[in-house]
Amino acid sequence: MQAQASARPPDFELEALDGQSLRLSTVLGSHVVLLEFWATYCEPCLTSMPHLQDLYQRYQKDGLLIWGISIDGPESVAQVRAEVAKLGLTFPIGLDDESRVVSLYNPKTTAPFSVLIGRDGQVLSRYEGYSEAAAAKLDAQLAQVLRASQAP
């Protein structure tokens, strides 16, 4: 499922697995941001993560920032760490263990759920679930958005 562009996304701040702070407002304007809501108990989420890692490696130099936002509960931090290590993820993983951020972006708590935000701070699209067709659409959209938003 994909939605049209919309207003500026709500700001948030989360602690990342590495102890850093992830605050959306600090990266808007300088990056294309993909927020990926996922959980360790969600098989489609775990299936999608290698694809996201590939996108991150391909497009990070072009200004793509992917933030995985774990919707697992506070008791699952060790499991989140283990899955991130097992999958070899190098993009930041935020811990939304109180469901504050997911309630702003994804009130149905669907997983996986992706929100693509342009450099201009506008929500470009939302993707619910994971399929190869959706992954291909996201790939094409990212390539187009990153190309269009390159600094002269």
pLDDT(148) > 90: no
- Kindly state the percentage of the chain with pLDDT values over 70: 93
CB 136 within 8 A of CB 114: no
Residue 8 pLDDT: 80
> 10 Å Cβ neighbour count for 148?
10
Q: What is the mean pLDDT of residues 58-81?
A: 93
Q: Is the pLDDT of residue 38 over 80?
A: yes
Q: Are 66 and 55 in contact (CB under 8 A)?
A: yes
- Residue 97 included in any domain: yes
Domain assignment of residue 41, yes or no: yes
Closest to 4 in 3D by CA, of 139, 152, 127: 127
CATH of the domain at 63: 3.40.30.10
Q: Are 68 and 38 in contact (CB under 8 A)?
A: yes
- Residue 144 predicted with pLDDT over 60: yes
Q: Residue 5: inside a domain, yes or no? A: no
Domain around 41: 13-148
> Which has more pLDDT, 128 or 8?
128
Question: Structure tokens of 18?
Answer: 């590495």
Q: Answer whether residue 40 is part of any domain.
A: yes
Burial of 47 (0-12, 13-18, 19+ CB in 10 A): middle
Is residue 4 assigned to a domain? Answer: no
Residue 125 falls inside a structural domain: yes
Where would I find the H helices in the chain?
43-59, 77-87, 100-105, 132-148
Mean pLDDT of the chain: 90
Determine, yes or no, domain membership for 1: no
Q: How many domains does the chain have?
A: 1
Full-prediction pTM beyond 0.85?
yes
User: Any idea which residue has 């760490």 for tokens?
Assistant: 81
